[in-house]
Structure 1
Amino acid sequence: MNNPIADQVVSAPTYLADIRFFFRPEDVAHMAAKGIELGTYDGVKSNALSIHAQTAPPNPRMPPDTEGQWSAERSQTFRNWIVNGCPLGTATPVEPPANGRPATRLRKDITALSDAEFDLLARAFSGLMDRDPGDPNSYFALAGHHGLPKRWCLHHEDRYNPWHRQYLRVFEDALRSVPGCEEVTIPYWDISTMLPDRLQQPPFDTYTLPADPGGTATPQPVTGYFPYKTERFSATDIAQNVGDFGVLDDIATSLTQSLWGESNVNGYQDFSIQAHDGGHGSIGPTMGDQNVASFDPVFWFFHCNLDRLWLSWQTLVGATTLPGFRSTLGQNTEWLTTPFNALPPFSATADQTIETDVSYDRLELISPVEGALENLTGSIDASRTFAFRSANPVSVRVKGINRLQIPGSFVVSLLADNEPVAKRFFFQPEDPQNCATCVQHGIVNIDFRMTQEQLLDRTLSVRIDVPRHAAEIGSAFPLGQAGNPTINARLLVQEV
């Protein structure tokens, strides 16, 4: 990372806006070898006094090279940060963006492809679909990594975004293996727009499975998916569902987060995963079922857009390099190191996906003149100053849902005076108790960001529905069978 500000004294610096840029990748690597973490807020905060003593001019001992030594102004800024209580603060959009590896693959909006580019894409997809299902580079085999039969996919955990980024890369490489398609890239479908006509024609409209994906599933075979042809809602219904499930709201919230955060907790990751789930549920019965979602050709264009949004966020907060990305994390960095960084069945690891040579024809960027990004929270250290703003949202969390008891994807609705005011879709397999990742993350939360006016002086309640099984178990799933989840409602505050 390059320091985006000139060396001048900052009277009220914060980690996210100022301090994290003081440490070069070589500084972080050098001190990590000595067991000292300089790449994250928690690491710098816990070592702040020692860092100040070691770097203070006129006779600094660190960094060891003259070029990297701190100026008196930078040292004073760091001292101010310590005196002020080491505030985390909020990130300011970075300009110009600090890119990672040089881009070698450009992915475009599918509506922006020329007719020739679109025809080539169709040729590549048809080529994969025509391959024998036993071919590891066939459409059937590649789609089978996500749900049935392989069940490799990592949902609702830290490696979710890296896994899908690598999955797109592997699928794109397979498209390029079709003769004459060596330069093909996967385009994206911007879900804020109507489903394009191009995705409603062969070979992108539907896919008929040539073999049973559940016959070889482990730990036990799964029935009911052969014969099987993918299904989708109409373009109009998809757009309606996207609004009902708050997909665009969650995307907008994710892009304004200062921190990467944790799934089920906060930050970019939490809201991006909720948007992912809502998108799956919006598109159709196949996309809403983790067992077979990736067999619907729209899966690849939908996920390409999600990767575009992740790269947009990385660019905004200066996280397109591994050191820059780590600076947006807290204590939870283990998933970027061996052996916890694995992305099975792929050889690439989570840390290797942070810097990408993929670019997009458009990113969703916020200008630095629009101000700092968001770091709203429900609690804050008593030593901090904070404020309640009338415009700040209320966080309503349906907490402690035991997903393993719920057969398939489900919808959580927030009701006010018995009328739905918000709902979210949770994406999972039909048999989550047989999915290793689901079992590991069996207790989940659903987050709603609501205006105060939507909730005040109204009687609130929660309902869980399982759309795929409405005819069998009724319209609402008993909360008692879903682990008796609780409601956590907080007025969000910000540090000042």
Structure 2
Amino acid sequence: MSVTQLKVRKSISVIQRDYENGNKKELEDLMRAWKGIKELPADDPHSFFKLGGFHGEPFRGAGWGSSAYWGGYCNHGNVLFPTWHRIYILKIEEALQSIKGCETVMLPYWDETDEESLQKGIPSCLTDEFFELDGKKIANPLRSFVFPKNIVDNVQGDNNLYNKPKGYETVRYPLSGLVGSDEDRKNTAKHNAQFPDYNNNVKILNNNILNWLNSYIIVKKKKIETNVNQKFKDCLEAPNYTVFSNTTSASEWNINLEEGSLPVVSLESPHNSIHLAVGGCDLPTYDRSPIPGANGDMGENDTAGLDPIFYFHHCNIDRVFWIWQKKHGFTDHLEIFPEYPGTNTVDNQGPTPGMAPNSWLDLESPLNPFKITEKGKERPYNSLDCINIEKQLGITYSKGSLDQFSEAKLLKAENEDAKVIKVSRINKAPIRGSFMISAFATIEGKKQHLGTEAVLSRWNSQYCANCQTHLEVKAFFKLPVLEETSKDALKASLNSVEIEIHGRDGVLGGSDNENNDGNLKKAAVLKSGKPPITFHVEIV
């Protein structure tokens, strides 16, 4: 396929600027297409409800009532994460093109690391309350989704957390969307009543996004990035597809780092951060007050796919995947380490419907439930069908941020003089929902935030029978070296480091500076009355 025939996915910010300059057709057609798929009958194969539900609720597949299955069809924490989502956004794009008059519509990407996003946050066309289309003022199709029917959480032990009635509208930070029980509805109504002004809520949301994208610390008068913007750059340095593709494989690589090596960052890591930033988690820095009780739909796997912003975010994730492929020479082939952590169906999340528990993943593993027709016969997509987006899918991306790093050369390290903080042995089973692992250190007399690892999770993973040996979560942070790295200096560094685990129930665990044995605890108690989350910390 020649370059001139390639269909181009553009930045939504560029399309919005064209609209503001009088070239309105592209954005209007995009709005018309989104409005169209949201209005299709719930069981239509192109309906947003049908496609959005494949990620979690309500279409878990034929295993939703069994603890052998977990979540929806999505793949997280394994090597199929980039390719499964590549086909997912392709199917949304095809649905948009099925709407009359929208045959040429392409799914745009939210360029999360361009200057506009770093300065303003989410492009306003994704958050504006209304849009004028065909001379009528309508609810902006890109800001939320109103459920056309009930969704029911049938997983044992979830206590109906994800039950949502017909007419429910998705929400983002700072609002909460938990309405599964009488107590949830009461708490959510009380919480949301604090935020009655829609436009002000958008400002609060964007401030949170900016905090995640731009955080940094100053060490020896030098600015050191600790933010999601830097994570996107760092993930492009991942040396192979296996560790680039997911957090499970990257954690295994990092737990075995040689001294002097910096941790790799997987594509899934900044991906998780944006989910939690939009969905309801503050970055736990100390210059602003957090908003407890914010439980937006993007922050949980089961409902994230029902917020339209999910697809603009994942289009950008796919674009970064393509940049990494070009940078490392993997545009036509990918390599998976056999039987490495992150290559099993139960790694991180439990098997997706239609896949056997405890089976190995490779490039031929099915990307359920998506089907492709080949030689007149229908079969499941697999990763081999979508490695080269230009040759195989006929799609490419417009030039955006990070493209300058697509050449096969190393990025300049932001901080070469650094040790690595390894946080391990975190059991996510008792943690309700998505959570964050944050590292702090006393540097030049001030407590400074070294970074946060976002964990996109479900509310009760302890009920997944096949997940029980795959529940450990790890996180890795760079620690600036301020003095000689003797044993005494490392001991002092360990004493200066604090780890905090923040979840939907507040602070779930943290380090106590009086302990320096590498197994730090804090006397925090979960709301359930259970002991605090404990973990192991070492600095290498």
Q: Which residue of 1 aligns with 2:171?
A: 231
Determine if contact 1:412/1:462 at 8 Å carries over to the other structure. yes
Pairs within 5 Å for 1:42-81: none
1:448 aligns with 2:477: yes
Whole-Å separation in 2 of the counterparts to 1:464 and 1:412? 5
Q: Which residue of 2 aligns with 1:123?
A: 32
Q: Which residue of 1 aligns with 2:151?
A: 213
Determine if contact 1:162/1:350 at 8 Å carries over to the other structure. yes
Q: Which residue of 1 aligns with 2:450?
A: 421
Whole-Å separation in 2 of the counterparts to 1:242 and 1:431? 29
Alpha carbons of structure 1 residues 473 and 126: separation in structure 2 relative to 1, 3 Å: farther
1:348 aligns with 2:378: no
Pairs within 5 Å for 1:32-431: 104-113=6-15, 114=18, 115-149=24-58, 150=60, 151-192=72-113, 193=117, 194-201=121-128, 202-215=140-153, 222-227=160-165, 228-233=168-173, 234-244=205-215, 246-260=227-241, 261=243, 262-266=249-253, 270-284=265-279, 285-322=296-333, 325-326=334-335, 332=340, 335-338=361-364, 341-346=365-370, 347-357=380-390, 358-362=395-399, 364-366=402-404, 371-372=409-410, 391-417=416-442, 420-431=449-460
Alpha carbons of structure 1 residues 257 and 330: separation in structure 2 relative to 1, 3 Å: farther
Determine if contact 1:156/1:263 at 8 Å carries over to the other structure. no
Shift of 1:198: 0.9
Q: From 447, 457, 462, give the equivalent of 1:433.
A: 462
Q: Deviations over 1:150-190 (max 9, x none)?
A: 21111111111111111111111111111111111110001
Q: Which residue of 2 aligns with 1:463?
A: 500
Determine if contact 1:147/1:294 at 8 Å carries over to the other structure. yes
| Normalised TM-score (structure 2) | 0.61
CA RMSD of superposed structures (Å): 3.7
Determine if contact 2:419/2:539 at 8 Å carries over to the other structure. yes
Q: Structure 1: which 5+ residue stretches go unaligned?
A: 1-98, 377-388, 491-496
Shift of 1:439: 5.3
Q: Which residue of 2 aligns with 1:33?
A: none
Count of residue correspondences: 373
| Matching residue's letter, 2:454 | F
Alpha carbons of structure 1 residues 337 and 308: separation in structure 2 relative to 1, 3 Å: closer
Whole-Å separation in 2 of the counterparts to 1:321 and 1:440? 34
Alpha carbons of structure 1 residues 169 and 403: separation in structure 2 relative to 1, 3 Å: same
Shift of 1:146: 0.8
Q: Which residue of 1 aligns with 2:292?
A: none
| Normalised TM-score (structure 1) | 0.66
Determine if contact 2:433/2:458 at 8 Å carries over to the other structure. yes
Shift of 1:390: 8.0
Q: Deviations over 1:410-450 (max 9, x none)?
A: 01111324664322221112222356886574222122233
Whole-Å separation in 1 of the counterparts to 2:303 and 2:269? 19
User: 279-288 vs 306-315, which deviates more?
Assistant: 279-288
Determine if contact 1:145/1:152 at 8 Å carries over to the other structure. yes
Determine if contact 1:404/1:438 at 8 Å carries over to the other structure. no
| Matching residue's letter, 1:203 | P
Q: Who wins on radius of gyration, i.e. which is larger?
A: 1
| Matching residue's letter, 2:429 | L
Whole-Å separation in 1 of the counterparts to 2:206 and 2:234? 24
Look up the SS of the partner of 1:312 in the other structure: helix
Alpha carbons of structure 1 residues 390 and 188: separation in structure 2 relative to 1, 3 Å: closer
Shift of 1:463: 1.6
Q: Deviations over 1:329-384 (max 9, x none)?
A: 6875863344xx2222122112322221321002523469994469x9xxxxxxxx
Alpha carbons of structure 1 residues 407 and 135: separation in structure 2 relative to 1, 3 Å: same
Query: Percent same amino acid among aligned pairs?
Result: 25
Whole-Å separation in 1 of the counterparts to 2:411 and 2:338? 17
| Greater percentage in strand | 2
Shift of 1:488: 3.5
Determine if contact 2:10/2:109 at 8 Å carries over to the other structure. yes
Look up the SS of the partner of 2:33 in the other structure: helix
Determine if contact 2:42/2:49 at 8 Å carries over to the other structure. yes
Look up the SS of the partner of 2:475 in the other structure: strand
Alpha carbons of structure 1 residues 372 and 411: separation in structure 2 relative to 1, 3 Å: closer
Q: Deviations over 1:246-276 (max 9, x none)?
A: 3112111111233222242349984211111
Whole-Å separation in 1 of the counterparts to 2:313 and 2:231? 15
Whole-Å separation in 2 of the counterparts to 1:219 and 1:390? 45
Alpha carbons of structure 1 residues 217 and 137: separation in structure 2 relative to 1, 3 Å: farther
Shift of 1:292: 0.8
Shift of 1:297: 1.0
Q: Which residue of 2 aligns with 1:487?
A: 537
Q: Structure 2: which 5+ residue stretches go unaligned?
A: 19-23, 61-71, 129-139, 174-204, 216-225, 244-248, 255-262, 280-295, 344-359, 371-379, 484-489, 511-522
